[in-house]
Structure 1
């Protein structure tokens, strides 16, 4: 496990799936804001949940976020689109509603940076988030990410187009923090 003071990142366990599926996938509005793919009804069982434990891949590192105080699954975190040639990846997190607003997100972004830069040897991390996602933008800025662009009306989110912010962080900038 990669641990901070409040949160840890560990491999996804089968017992995490029902909790993550119920609170992060079945909430259609939340899922629509967190994923660019359209929501469709899926069972949490039978291998249909996006939170199912899968075989490791070279282009993604998927974690369950653990609240260290309670040892409960707090959400998911991942590096995706890992490009080993260009040494870059995208970062994403999604926390269960009851776990938000406690500082976990900010620490999870830091832990993903630690994993990406020190364990994987990446040179750049990037994230895309909705422009109104103040919590993610704040967590990213606290880790040293800078806004690199605004993608106007680029995300279809539950009935309307939304702007997205693109933020990036280089390994040498993170090392200076």
Structure 2
């Protein structure tokens, strides 16, 4: 378990699957977090969610497939979301991260920032990763502001790579180096 200031990141358990199923089938929530990939993630039966997590969380190598965490609040021990790291490259020492606060009542209250800070500390100082990256769609202004606040730099975009509600958006690519994290972590 990874402890932040206001969150704890725990391995996903069978008890957490009901939350993951509900969040995965919330079309607006999935669209906000996943952009045009949401169309592939919505409307999945509970059995498919259970099979995916059973298969991928219990029998795979972290260095090949990454790690998924369920997010609990430290104050009330409530489940509020999930996060993960993936695409771990042991040669370039890089990884990709993602997060999703499934409980909307916890948005805008510092939980996202603490989730990212907790994952970054683990990746940079425990797993010796040198570079962390992520992407989102250009219409997800809330996420972009959060990532900027956490020190991520805009590294590029894939023009009109997302299709959401009948409109095209760019995919925004962002990254953070360990040295940049060290410089900004005192202010987070």
TM-score by length of 2: 0.84
Aligned counterpart for 1:42 among listed residues 44, 69, 83: 44
What does residue range 125-164 of structure 1 map to in structure 2 within 5 Å?
Answer: 125-164=132-171
Aligned counterpart for 1:110 among listed residues 79, 94, 117: 117
User: Where does residue 73 of structure 1 map in the other structure?
Assistant: 79
What does residue range 20-39 of structure 1 map to in structure 2 within 5 Å?
Answer: 20-22=20-22, 24-35=23-34, 36=37, 38-39=40-41
Moved over 6 A (4+): none
1:45-89 CA distances to partner (integer Å, 9 max, x unpaired)?
Answer: x3x117724224323111111111221111110111111111111
1:133, CA displacement in angstroms?
1.8
Between 51-60 and 120-129, report the one with greater CA deviation: 51-60
Between 85-94 and 135-144, report the one with greater CA deviation: 135-144
Cα RMSD of the aligned pairs, angstroms, is: 1.8
The alignment status of 1:86 with 2:92, answered yes or no, reads yes
Between 65-74 and 86-95, report the one with greater CA deviation: 65-74
In 2, Cα distance between equivalents of 1:40 and 1:137: 23
**Structure 1, unaligned stretches of length 5 or more?**
none
In 2, Cα distance between equivalents of 1:145 and 1:92: 13
In 1, Cα distance between equivalents of 2:140 and 2:100: 12
1:166, CA displacement in angstroms?
0.8
In 2, Cα distance between equivalents of 1:73 and 1:148: 32
Residues 32 and 39 of structure 1 are in contact (CA less than 8 Å); yes or no, is this contact kept in structure 2? Answer: no
Residues 40 and 95 (structure 1 numbering): CA distance in 2 closer, same or farther, change over 3 Å?
closer
Between 55-64 and 30-39, report the one with greater CA deviation: 30-39
**Structure 2, unaligned stretches of length 5 or more?**
none
The alignment status of 1:7 with 2:7, answered yes or no, reads yes
In 1, Cα distance between equivalents of 2:25 and 2:106: 16
Residues 43 and 161 (structure 1 numbering): CA distance in 2 closer, same or farther, change over 3 Å?
same
In 2, Cα distance between equivalents of 1:162 and 1:33: 12
**Is the helix fraction higher in 1 or 2?**
2
Aligned pair count reads 174
In 1, Cα distance between equivalents of 2:163 and 2:139: 14
